[in-house]
Structure 1
């Protein structure tokens, strides 16, 4: 076999290509997993905030509205299978002290920190915090317990 024939020989080229491309393919797959987890978590936090604000707006006073909103947000996060390392749920209840006939609303804010460190992608942060707020109108003509009508 001459030197020219050896230089044209393709044996081992596929192995070399596989060794080079395999880590790149793994990194792309891990990136897809990370982006999927972030997107899913963001969707779950949005849903939790929306449902919490709606549940709070159906109550008659601020105390029960706050409690109903927090319970709903926890339930939605649990149903979505989202495991937050830190969770914060707040429901504004100032609208319940508005006089009957006055437009009022309540806002629920849900914050969840999602762990990303188990994915193992270099350069990816260990956790990402997602926050979502949603405002729901309180029925203007529904009796509220926080304020008595004259």
Structure 2
């Protein structure tokens, strides 16, 4: 006894296509967030490391911030910010010092059109670089 099978393929497509589109959207969102996390982490480390190679605290903070922002320029995230604290470099030679950097970036997810996803997510990373204790400051 054979039943009429016409229309079954259309029903299967209507059920499967949204599920597959949601799966693809989740993969794209995950890749976008993963890539942004790696780039923001790299920007924070680059900013801290760049700031430790300059002797002047004010100049090193500005150059570190610039290096971090340059690293974030490749990432399509707005707004992005890099904050460098290089006050430890103004201490006298022989005293320990650390430069800290914080990088943050807001990644847009609203264009993926998936229900339940936030419109954007902010990613933040911190890094610390130790300044050479015996170099001239």
Partner of residue 138, structure 1: 131
Q: Name the TM-score, length of structure 1 as normaliser.
A: 0.86
Q: Structure 2 unaligned segments of length 5 or more: list them.
A: none
Partner of residue 97, structure 2: 104
Q: Is residue 103–residue 124 contact of structure 2 (8 Å, CA) maintained in 1?
A: yes
* TM-aligned CA deviation for residue 135 of structure 1: 0.3
Superposition RMSD in Å:
1.2
Q: Structure 1 unaligned segments of length 5 or more: list them.
A: 145-150
Alignment of 1:46-65 (within 5 A): 46-65=41-60
Partner of residue 118, structure 1: 111
Q: How many residues align?
A: 137
* TM-aligned CA deviation for residue 93 of structure 1: 1.4
Partner of residue 72, structure 1: 67
Q: Name the TM-score, length of structure 2 as normaliser.
A: 0.94
Q: List 4+ stretches of structure 1 deviating above 4 A.
A: none
Bigger Cα Rg:
1
2: distance between equivalents of 1:40 and 1:18? 32
Partner of residue 79, structure 2: 86
* TM-aligned CA deviation for residue 116 of structure 1: 1.2
* TM-aligned CA deviation for residue 13 of structure 1: 2.2
